[in-house]
Amino acid sequence: MKRAIREWFRCHRDELEEDVDIVVIVRRDATALERAGLERELSSLTRRAEHGGGTARRTR
For residue range 9-57, what is the model confidence (pLDDT) as tens digits?
999 888 887 777 788 888 888 878 888 888 898 888 887 777 765 555 5
Residue 34: half-sphere exposure toward Cβ, Cα within 13 Å: 1
DSSP 19-43: T--------GGGGG--HHHHHHHHH
Rounded to an integer, what is the distance from CA 46 to the centroid of its chain?
A: 6
How confident is the model over 20-33, as pLDDT tens digits? 778 888 888 887 88
- Rounded Cα distance between 58 and 52, Å, is 13
What is the model's pLDDT at position 10? Answer: 92
The pTM assigned to this predicted structure is 0.66
> What pLDDT, on a 0 to 100 scale, did the predictor assign at position 7?
93
